[in-house]
Chain A
Amino acid sequence: MEQNDLVVQMKGITKVYPNGIAANQSVDFSVRQGEIHALMGENGAGKSTLMKMLFGLEQPTEGEIVVNGEKVSLSSPTVAIAHGIGMVHQHFMLVPSLTVAENIVLGMVPKKSGMFIDFKKAIELTKEYSERFNLAVNPDAKVVDIPVGMKQKVEILKALIRGAKILILDEPTAVLTTQETTELFRELIHLKEQGYTIIFISHKLNEIKQITDRLTIMRGGKCMGVYETASITEQEISRLMVGRDVILDVQKDEAQPTDVVLKVRDLHYTNEWNKKMLDGVSFDVRKGEILGIAGVEGNGQRELVDMLFDLSEPDAGTATVNGKDVINASQARIRAMGVSLVPEDRMTYGIAEAATIEENLISDRFEEKRFNNGPLFNMKAIHAESDRLIADYTVLCKSRKQKVKMLSGGNIQKVVVAREFSSDPTLIIADQPTRGIDVGATEFIRKKLVDLSRAGTAVLLVSADLNEVMELSDSLIVLYGGKIAAYFEDTSELDDVVMGEYMLGLKRQSDEEIGRVCHER
């Protein structure tokens, strides 16, 4: 391999965020001229951080970046673009009410008579690039009116027109339908033929096999190796990508599940981009067990939780808690049924940052009789409750009057968990309960979950952390592409390799095997 063949070399990259999390540890990453290179890894593996540094959105703590043989300091996206690097983000950076052509030329508008926008030129430019790269877009259409596949093409064109020779695509197929994906691949291959270099972030094995030349696998912030796509099997990729670095040893007694609490039947949901996110999902969660939902993010987990807590409405299907409908119930009603939710987006839903710890702890119960004396709050009872919760959940703080925003991430999550776990719930939905928090808080929260389930609470645990979901769950389902791909009644004998194959869609159990997760007919 010739050195001058490499258009991008990232050497010994380490990135430590101000909160102390090391997202990348001495990562080496390089891309050849004119190849499609996959960057693979689970969520949190450090792919996005690495690419943000290549696009100038973040700066490495250590290490160097070489582009086209020249050592560069990519201090901002503008600098990265000047070096011919373009990025298509997962969330599009488009202005909906502007036309396609206007979006494409924004910030570099062609002018006529010195001050007016030369629309003709903008449209010509759009058409020219659109034809040259075989990326069909309608220059006059407003972005708000075009399908998501075309929006993505607009983003690619935006990068190309600004002179990008190296394109970073961040999970480009996550929002696309199958047809759109096929079309995108054709276009990417066309770009490759014209000498462009493409970095393709994904965790979908079939896609990677289909269009990439080489791939780099990351896990836990480290590089797991670089391979020629043709010479590695899907099973090997899966094994490298999915796996546990340390096996946790969670102490728990065997589950004694009894009655069905949460009963989900045949849930369907199509998102606003017309993509089927949930496709006939059915399962039961029983009293006294922890049912885990494993899967690579974006396979329907978030949508499922949203349905169960009235944050969006399914197209079809039912969900009941102890026989009562939750689909058409408000959050207040759902909570009254004894359902608690540890939300994935804790800063938006889980807490009110500018309020005190105490105020955050009582948000679901402040109307209860025991906290009110006629029209007034019973402050003694409220103080007692918050002091008890702060002590029970070891929230590190000065006092209950401290603002939640002054706490560390782990302690903020403890506040959320303290509230959600202490309402004597019949069902706890824990969505990524330990993401991004310190080890101590993580262990504490996991232990609490186990204790609660052994005391008779039904727990639905959604986690992208394989370690967590495998160790904590009594039984487990794997979501892939909006469907349940596997059900494991007993998680103790499971191994990472098998899990990886189900999570990445290499394998799927028979309907009969999956159907066993519905304990009640």
Chain B
Amino acid sequence: MWGQLFDTIFKAEFLFSVIRITAPILFAAMGAVIADKAGVVNIGLEGIMMISALFGVLFSYWAQSWLVGVIGALFVGALLGLMMGFFALKLKTDIILAGIAVNMMGAGGTIFLLYMFTGMRGNTGALVSSNILIPTVSIPLLQNIPILGEILSGHSVLTYVAFLLVWLIWLLLYRTPLGLNIRAVGENPNAASSVGVSVLRIKYIAISLSGALAGLGGAFMSMYYSQGWNSGMVAGRGFIALAAQAMGRGEPVGAMFSSLLFGLAQALRTKVSGLQGVSSYLVSLIPYVVTILGLVVYAASTLKRVKKIKAAHPEVKR
């Protein structure tokens, strides 16, 4: 059995699937990173992914263009983020409760919306045709390299965007004035507002961006990964993204590695479930257990650091 397992794992096809599976989590994890940097917990990622996944399919069907679908999903995600922001920042709903509400809309509300718009129930099977799915691209030169080409080439456009985004988000956070403001607002809002940075505005921007990123993750799910929208599709990826953010210490690159870890575990699960004597369910556990363990290690290691920062900066509440 182990031999069989190793055979599957060390195939290019396996690593290809790791990347494919990681991408949607990565989008949402980047969303979690941006929100967290601004001091906002976006627990609504799960619901935002569901809703924008649906709208991605709907927009692309209406326009018969995958690009319109993706952009539509992005806007729906941003809009939902803005809505969470409105309730949390303006009406002072607890941000966690606002997120749970968005998740509720995502869980059942989507089924309702689908019916409302199309008369269909549960999934979008009949709407989807290959021309409205996100196309895959073969990368010239790279695709000809053995193994590496097989692993890295031939993914969807959005898969590449996901990994590119890690770098872009890093750039945004660490190389642009907006990123500086986001980090300042998240860490010490008083310091930010004392130099004329509008804390409210920055938080709205961050949570909308967070929503937009989750929206892309949703589009990836429905317009590439599952080739259509169905009601159980996101299956906790939004929550996992939150954990990936925490495990990756809130940094884009760290969150990417955590997401890859989850992608790996998930890919392993699909491979292993075919094997004799292995429970696919227990394999499915791996990412969640790994996440909890990761959080434990992270929490234990930061315990001291946090104490130090708190002691030196009593004005910063974290």
Contacts and interface: CB of A to CB of B under 8 A. Distances in A.
A337 interface: no
Which 8 A/B pairs are nearest by Cβ-Cβ distance?
A107-B195, A109-B177, A272-B311, A93-B191, A93-B194, A95-B184, A91-B315, A95-B188
A384 interface: no
Given A95-B187, A109-B180, A272 B195 contact: no
Contact of B309 (A91, A102, A144, A162): A144
A94 interface: yes
Given A116-B175, A144-B309, A107 B187 contact: no
A108 B195 contact: yes
A107 B190 contact: no
Contact of B190 (A93, A115, A162): A93
Interface of A: 77-78, 91-98, 102-103, 106-109, 111, 115-117, 144, 158, 162, 272-273
Nearest to A78: B196
A106 B181 contact: yes
Contacts of B195: 93, 106-108, 158, 162
Interface residues of B, number: 24
Nearest to A90: B315
Contacts of A111: 177
A144 B312 CA distance: 8
A107 B183 contact: no
A106 B191 contact: yes
A272 B315 CA distance: 13
A98 B180 contact: yes
Query: Which DSSP category, helix, strand, loop or mixed, fits chain B's interface?
Result: helix
A55 to B, nearest CB: 10
Contacts of A103: 191
Nearest to A148: B312
B309 A107 contact: no
23 contacts: A92-B191, A92-B313, A93-B190, A93-B194, A95-B188, A95-B192, A96-B313, A98-B180, A98-B187, A102-B180, A106-B191, A106-B195, A107-B192, A107-B195, A107-B196, A107-B197, A115-B176, A116-B171, A116-B175, A144-B309, A144-B313, A158-B195, A162-B195
A289 B313 CA distance: 38
Contacts of B181: 106-107
Contacts of A91: 314-315
Contacts, number: 70
B137 interface: no
A102 B175 CA distance: 11
Contacts of B187: 95-98
B180 to A, nearest CB: 6
A516 B302 CA distance: 47
Contacts of A77: 194, 196
A95 B183 CA distance: 8
Given A95-B183, A106-B195, A158-B195, 15 more contacts: A91-B314, A92-B313, A93-B195, A95-B187, A96-B187, A96-B309, A96-B312, A96-B313, A96-B316, A98-B183, A106-B180, A106-B191, A107-B181, A109-B177, A109-B180
A77 B197 CA distance: 12
A78 B309 CA distance: 29
Contacts of A272: 311-312
Contacts of B190: 93
Interface of A is mostly: loop
Contacts of A106: 180-181, 184, 191-192, 195, 197
Q: Pick from B176, B195, B314 the residue with the most CB of A within 10 Å.
A: B195
A95 to B, nearest CB: 5
A180 to B, nearest CB: 15
Contacts of B191: 92-95, 103, 106
A96 B197 CA distance: 17
B171 to A, nearest CB: 8
A102 B187 CA distance: 13
Nearest to A77: B194
B188 A94 contact: yes
Interface in B140-190: 171, 175-177, 180-181, 183-184, 187-188, 190
A116 B170 CA distance: 12
Contacts of B188: 93-96
B263 to A, nearest CB: 29
A109 B182 CA distance: 13
A442 B222 CA distance: 68
Nearest to A96: B313
A295 B314 CA distance: 24
A51 to B, nearest CB: 15
Nearest to A147: B312
A107 B183 CA distance: 12
A59 B191 CA distance: 21
Nearest to A272: B311
Contacts of A98: 180, 183-184, 187
A97 B184 CA distance: 9
Contacts of B316: 96
Contacts of A117: 175-177, 180
A94 B316 CA distance: 9
A97 B318 CA distance: 13
B317 to A, nearest CB: 12
A106 B194 CA distance: 10
Contacts of B315: 91-93
B241 to A, nearest CB: 23
Contacts of A95: 183-184, 187-188, 191-192
A145 to B, nearest CB: 9
Nearest to B313: A96
A220 B181 CA distance: 41
Nearest to B187: A95
A266 B260 CA distance: 56
Interface string B185-226: 001101110111100000000000000000000000000000
Contacts of B183: 95, 97-98
A109 B181 CA distance: 10
A97 B312 CA distance: 12
B196 A116 contact: no
A92 B187 CA distance: 13
Contacts of B309: 96, 144
Contacts of B180: 98, 102, 106, 109, 117
Interface string B298-318: 000000000001011111100
A158 B313 CA distance: 18
Contacts of A144: 309, 312-313
B186 to A, nearest CB: 9
A109 B177 CA distance: 6
A274 to B, nearest CB: 10
Contacts of A109: 177, 180
Contacts of A116: 171, 175-176
Contacts of B177: 109, 111, 115, 117
A122 to B, nearest CB: 10
Contacts of B313: 92, 94, 96, 144
A167 to B, nearest CB: 15
Contacts of A97: 183, 187
A327 to B, nearest CB: 19
A77 B191 CA distance: 12
A272 B308 CA distance: 9
A116 B171 CA distance: 9
